[in-house]
């Protein structure tokens, strides 16, 4: 019997039902919205892994996710309204309770509600995000991140929706930093961003650990907490950086960053950037308010600027000085990642030794998805129960 062809990276770009990557990703919980973006009594359409859903928050404050369309005539349910903890379709008024059961059909003389059931999906709210499980059967245990549970204030930045594969984002390795972010680093006087970056990478029980190296290939101990970064399967990164929030920079405050790179569909992903900053009480609340204010303001214009750069209408060096550095970094990443195009549509890549993080990530994915297809055991990825803060809590394995 002929052996099935070996998986290629282009095989892992589609994420819909029945695709190799889609089947694998449906084994995990996924963030889909910021908590603050789903107000009580409101509904929103969402898309995840090329499937559409309806998210709404009942008057009890609980976030729920159900089917995208009304089973009567196919109208988008998010166009309707929330009544108590139920959802009513705007087209003919059919109402569905929080279990997805139709409980009212106003236009029918003989309602047949008991025959109509919407699919519903389990949700969790954590780290200022709403997570959902859309796979078959019972979901896996919901795993928390110890460094998001440490004392401090958590801020979830505006989601970044980019029109390219999620692979373009999650393969964004440390080597890009002194080149992609060169203009902003020079403008801000951040000479450490211009240093060449290389890393040692090793597989772990959760994914892999990357340790920054200096030019002589030794561990760069002067990098502080930023010398170590962690990747949690299937697409989550954790790292540390000095806070860039205006009014708080220059105070040697280290942000813990968690970034989820979630496929919306084959041609779009959303990146949720969550920060835990060790500030408490009134200072913590003031920090969160300042960060939200800065980030939300820049969110309205950042992608328009990025598209102008891609179109050749302006250069990255022309970014206005009043745009904060973090937003400039996002624009610079957009230009390079979107500019890569599709995985399937690229010419042959030529990876070098410094692409070891990319090579390891690809090996892990191909190994695990191949095992799934072949019906063989897959690795049970486990997030550590202790803090991963390097140089502050000595628990890095």
121/115 Cα distance (integer angstroms): 19
Q: List the chain pLDDT tens, one digit each, 397 residues.
A: 445 678 999 999 999 999 999 999 999 999 999 999 999 999 999 999 999 999 999 999 999 999 999 999 999 999 999 999 999 999 999 999 999 999 999 989 999 999 999 999 999 999 999 999 999 999 999 999 999 999 999 999 999 999 999 999 999 988 898 999 999 999 989 888 888 888 899 999 999 999 887 655 554 544 566 778 999 999 999 999 888 777 887 788 889 999 999 999 999 999 999 999 999 999 999 999 988 887 777 777 889 999 999 999 999 999 988 888 888 999 999 999 999 999 989 888 899 998 999 999 999 999 999 999 999 999 999 999 888 875 443 322 2
Q: Where does residue 273 fall: left (phi above 0), alpha (psi -120 to 50 degrees), or beta otherwise?
A: beta
309/317 Cα distance (integer angstroms): 10
Last residue of one domain, picked from the residues 133, 163, 181: 133
Dihedral pair phi/psi, residue 54, rounded to 5°: -120, 125
Q: Mark whether 184 and 112 lie in a shared domain.
A: no
In a domain? residue 307: yes
Domain CATH code at residue 37: 2.102.10.10
In a domain? residue 120: yes
In a domain? residue 3: no
In a domain? residue 188: yes
Domain extent, residue 74, equals: 29-133
Do 116 and 126 touch, CB atoms closer than 8 A? no
Last residue of one domain, picked from the residues 109, 133, 157: 133
In a domain? residue 395: no
Q: Mark whether 79 and 187 lie in a shared domain.
A: no
In a domain? residue 58: yes
Q: Mark whether 298 and 156 lie in a shared domain.
A: yes
Domain CATH code at residue 274: 3.90.380
Q: Mark whether 232 and 300 lie in a shared domain.
A: yes
Q: Mark whether 65 and 210 lie in a shared domain.
A: no
Number of domains in the chain: 2
Q: Mark whether 176 and 201 lie in a shared domain.
A: yes
The contacts of residue 46 (CB under 8 Å, 6+ apart) are: 32, 33, 52, 53, 54, 55, 65
């Amino acid at each position: 019997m002929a052996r099935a062809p070996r998986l290629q990276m282009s095989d892992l770009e589609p994420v819909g039902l029945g695709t190799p990557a889609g089947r694998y990703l449906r084994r995990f919980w996924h963030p889909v919205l910021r908590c603050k973006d789903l107000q009580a009594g409101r509904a929103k359409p969402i898309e995840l892994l090329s499937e559409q859903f309806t998210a709404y928050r009942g008057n009890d404050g609980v976030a729920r996710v159900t089917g995208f369309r009304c089973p009567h005539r196919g109208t988008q349910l998010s166009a309707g309204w929330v009544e108590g903890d139920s959802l009513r379709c705007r087209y003919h008024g059919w109402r569905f309770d929080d279990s997805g059961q139709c409980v009212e059909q106003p236009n029918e003389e003989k309602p047949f509600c008991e025959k109509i059931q919407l699919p519903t999906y389990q949700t969790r709210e954590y780290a200022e995000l709403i997570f959902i499980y859309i796979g078959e059967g019972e979901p896996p245990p919901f795993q928390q991140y110890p460094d998001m549970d440490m004392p401090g204030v958590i801020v979830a930045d505006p989601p970044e929706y980019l029109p390219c594969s999620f692979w373009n984002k999650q393969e964004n390795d440390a080597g890009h930093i002194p080149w992609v972010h060169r203009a902003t680093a020079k403008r801000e006087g951040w000479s450490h961003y211009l240093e060449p970056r290389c890393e040692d990478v090793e597989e772990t029980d959760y994914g892999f650990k990357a340790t920054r190296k200096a030019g002589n290939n030794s561990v760069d101990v002067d990098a502080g907490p930023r010398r170590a970064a962690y990747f949690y399967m299937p697409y989550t990164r954790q790292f540390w950086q000095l806070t860039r929030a205006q009014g708080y920079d220059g105070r040697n405050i280290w942000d813990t960053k968690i970034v989820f790179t979630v496929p919306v569909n084959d041609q779009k992903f959303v990146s949720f950037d969550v920060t835990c900053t060790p500030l408490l009480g009134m200072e913590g609340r003031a920090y969160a308010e300042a960060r939200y204010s800065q980030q939300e303001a820049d969110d309205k214009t950042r992608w328009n600027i990025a598209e102008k750069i891609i179109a050749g209408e302006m250069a990255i060096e022309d970014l206005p000085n009043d745009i904060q550095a973090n937003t400039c970094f996002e624009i610079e990443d957009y230009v390079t990642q979107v500019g890569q195009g599709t995985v399937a549509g690229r010419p042959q890549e030529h990876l070098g030794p410094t692409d070891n993080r990319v090579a390891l990530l690809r090996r892990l994915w191909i190994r695990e998805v191949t095992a799934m297809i072949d019906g063989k055991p897959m690795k049970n990825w486990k997030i550590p129960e202790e803090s991963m803060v390097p140089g502050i809590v000595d628990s890095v394995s």
